[in-house]
Amino acid sequence: MSPAFERRLADAPAAARELRALRDLLRWAISRFECAGIAYGHGTDNARDEAAALLLWALHLPPGPLAPWLGARLTLLERRAVVELVERRIALRTPAAYLTGEAWLRGMRFACDARALVPRSLIAEALDEALPQWLELHPRTPCWPAAILDLCTGGGSLAILAADRFPDAQVVGADLSAEALALAATNRESHGLQQRVELVQGDLFAPLRAHRFDLILCNPPYVNEASMQALPPEFRAEPRAALAGGRDGMDLVRRIIADAPAHLADEGVLLLEIGHEAAHFEAAFPELEFHYLPVTAGDRMLVLVEAAQLAAAAARLAAAAARPGTTAARRARRPAGAARKPRPPSARRTAARPPGRRP
């Protein structure tokens, strides 16, 4: 049997020397990324978009479509800069945003480095799309939300986006990590939001004392242990404490669901990102009624729970726990973090998608 044909690619010096137009370098960068098998997921999900974002940044071009520039010829210095950045992305296997020091989310720029997760929360899209649609069907008072909490704020992107989308609201961003909060402070300053975004440090709700909020946004660490073990290097470059959610991903989520009622106003809403952990979430909270808010990435990745639903679930659990011998009593005695096997979705979940939206 003859050996498989060996494909070859121009090395970095040859690429910088011989490829003249931006279009050529884009093609080369895509080939390099495909060949190296890098992982995506920090703002892009394919080689072309990753290459385009890096090329635009390296050439000081505005973020957006690359198409208007494809025919542009580059100087040798520019070509070398592009080639070096592409090679660095491959060699370090670090998210592009950590190389460029910035990330864009819903049209806003955020300073970005390894002190915090690269901003990409699905909650950002929901603030513009699914949440306003849900609110049309579940109206609140006109001044809602006056107080917003971004729990687990990291570099502060969601707190800042929320302050931008709800200009009359006061926003608090809370996180355990002092390093992440230092980055959040930089971002708050660059968006001129020192007066409306407060940053506090501590374990979940602890620094918030008895304060209540109309809207709590939370993108907690929720990656389950098996998925953590399989993370590609790009994700391992991010702080582990920003991702790891314990055996079933629900370690922090359990505490958030338990403590949120004490921090939500009467018409309050908790908007919680759970990513691909819907089965684990449903298994962990069989007594809880909630809504899924659909986003482009999926229909069961964002959970919306109303204050009344949280209170009702807590009351149901307490009542059942008072009856000895019931499953709920056994569940109430189960140590925190001891989850059961996931079970299929049940009727207690309510569809949050307004009529006429995607199937």
For residue 23, what are its two tokens?
A: 């279009």
Q: Which is nearer to ligand SAM, 219 or 309 (CB)?
A: 219
Which is nearer to ligand SAM, 79 or 300 (by Cβ)? Answer: 300
Among positions 95, 221, 245, 246, the unique one binding ligand SAM when judged by CB under 6 A: 221
Query: Considering beta carbons, is residue 180 or 278 the nearer one to ligand SAM?
Result: 180
Q: Which of 52, 55, 83, 158 binds ligand SAM (CB under 6 A)?
A: 158
Would you count residue 175 as binding ligand SAM (CB under 6 A)?
yes
Give yes or no for a contact between 115 and 125, defined as CB atoms under 8 angstroms apart.
no
DSSP states of 139-156 as a string?
A: ---TT--SEEEEET-TTS
Task: Kindly report the backbone phi and psi dihedral angles of residue 100, in degrees, each rounded to the nearest multiple of 5, phi listed first.
Answer: -90, -20
One DSSP character per residue, 198-250 reads EEEESSTTGGGTT--EEEEEE----B-HHHHHT--HHHHTS-GGGTB--TTS-
User: For ligand SAM, which is the closer residue by CB, 74 or 242?
Assistant: 242
- Per CB under 6 A, 157 contacts ligand SAM: yes
Residue window 274-303: x/- pattern of binding to ligand SAM, with contact defined by CB under 6 A:
------------------------------
Whose Cβ is closer to ligand SAM: residue 175's or residue 282's? 175
User: Which span sits near ligand SAM by CB under 6 A: 20-28, 111-119, 276-284, 294-302?
Assistant: 111-119
Task: Answer yes or no: are the C-beta atoms of 217 and 123 closer than 8 Å.
Answer: yes
Smallest separation (angstroms) from ligand SAM to the CB of 200: 10
What are the two backbone dihedrals, phi and then psi, of residue 110, each rounded to the nearest 5 degrees? -130, 135
Output 28 or 205, the one with its CB closest to ligand SAM: 205
Q: Which residues pair with 350 in a beta bridge?
A: 291
**Which is nearer to ligand SAM, 82 or 244 (by Cβ)?**
244
* Of 56 and 204, CB closest to ligand SAM: 204
| Under rule CB under 6 A, residue 187 binds ligand SAM | no
Q: How many residues does the chain have?
A: 359
Write the CA distances from 243 to 157, 162, 258, 285, 300, integer angstroms. Answer: 16, 22, 20, 21, 19
Instruction: Give yes or no for residue 176 binding ligand SAM (CB under 6 A).
Output: yes
Nearer to ligand SAM, 70 or 241 (CB): 241
CA–CA gap between residue 227 and residue 230 (Å, rounded): 5
Question: Which residue's Cβ lies closest to ligand SAM?
Answer: 154
Chain mean position to CA 99: 19
Show the site string, 248-267: x = touches ligand SAM by CB under 6 A, - = not.
----x---------------
Q: Is 337 in the site for ligand SAM (CB under 6 A)?
A: no
The interface region with ligand SAM, picked from 66-74, 132-140, 150-158, 310-318 by CB under 6 A, is 150-158
The Cα-based distances of 338 to 12, 248, 283, 317, 347 in angstroms read 51, 9, 11, 16, 24
- Residues from 112 through 131 that contact ligand SAM (CB under 6 A): 116-117, 119, 121
Q: Identify the residue among 145, 154, 245, 294 touching ligand SAM (CB under 6 A).
A: 154
Residue 161 sits in the site that holds ligand SAM (CB under 6 A): no
Residue 255, judged by CB atoms within 10 A of its CB (0-12, 13-18, 19+), counts as middle
Q: 281, 158, 260, 160: which is closest to 214 by C-alpha?
A: 260
Which of 241, 283, 308, 329 is the binder for ligand SAM (CB under 6 A)?
241
**What is the DSSP track for 160-191?**
HHHHHHSTT-EEEEEES-HHHHHHHHHHHHHT
Binders in 199-218 for ligand SAM, by CB under 6 A = 203-204
Query: CA end-to-end span of the chain, whole Å?
Result: 50
Q: Which residue has the tokens 């020091």?
A: 101
Q: Which of 177, 187, 224, 309 binds ligand SAM (CB under 6 A)?
A: 177
3-state helix, strand, coil in the chain (%, to 5): 45, 15, 40
Q: Which residues bind ligand SAM (CB under 6 A)?
A: 116-117, 119, 121, 152-154, 157-158, 175-177, 180, 203-204, 219-221, 241-242, 252
